[in-house]
Amino acid sequence: MAIPGERAVLYAFWASSCSWRVRAALVAKHLSFEERSIDIVKQKQQKTESYRVICPSQKVPALVIDGVTLVESMAMLQYLEDTRPQPSLAPSTPLLRARMREIVETVVAGIQPLQNVGLRGSFEDEAHYTKF
């Protein structure tokens, strides 16, 4: 499935935990990739037309690999695992994989939304955010 000679490109923000998890997976799988920084806080580069062409949802991270652009870090990790199974990111037994998914869900659905810059921007001020 990989396009020969094509290097993956990870569009990421340095402080984004979602970007960190994809970066860690690429390194763990020994994949060659180029990282391009997208400043989502000060410069709001994710809102530029040039980035919209790469990632219509204007999110980070975005991973360009095998001729496609993927968004959402967990979808990226699953794609990497499905298309490049070795070395595996997942434990070897069904029970341990289930435990891994429990932890993933806690982070992705429970913790991550409250750290999300996009969500935080929808509140009027800190007082409204802390009452959420």
Specify whether 83 is located in the same domain as 21.
yes
Residues 32 and 72 in one domain: yes
* pLDDT attached to residue 124: 56
Query: So what's the pLDDT on residue 24?
Result: 96
pTM of this structure: 0.79
Q: Do residues 97 and 39 both lie within one domain?
A: no
51 plus 63 within the same structural domain: yes
Number of domains in the chain: 2
Q: Which domain holds residue 80?
A: 1-88
pLDDT, residue 111, reads 67
Q: What residues contact residue 68 under an 8 Å CB cut-off, 6+ apart? A: none
pLDDT of amino acid 56: 94
- Rounded to whole angstroms, how far apart are CA atoms 13 and 22? 11
pLDDT of residue 3: 62
Question: Residues 80, 97: one domain?
Answer: no
Same domain, yes or no: 56 and 112: no
- Based on the fold, state whether residues 33 and 16 are members of the same structural domain: yes
Percentage helix, strand, coil, to 5, in the chain? 50, 15, 40
Residues 13 and 66 in one domain: yes
* Rounded Cα gap, residues 93 and 99, in angstroms: 10
- Predicted confidence at residue 131, as pLDDT, reads 55
Residues 120 and 99 in one domain: yes
Question: Could you tell me if 1 and 46 lie in one domain?
Answer: yes
64 and 111 housed in the same domain: no
82 and 28 part of one domain: yes
For residues 34 and 61, the answer to whether their CB atoms sit within 8 Å is no
Question: In tens digits, what is the pLDDT along the chain, a chain of 132 residues?
Answer: 556 568 999 999 998 889 999 999 999 999 999 999 999 989 999 999 999 999 999 999 999 999 999 999 999 999 999 999 999 999 999 999 999 999 988 887 766 655 565 555 555 555 554 554
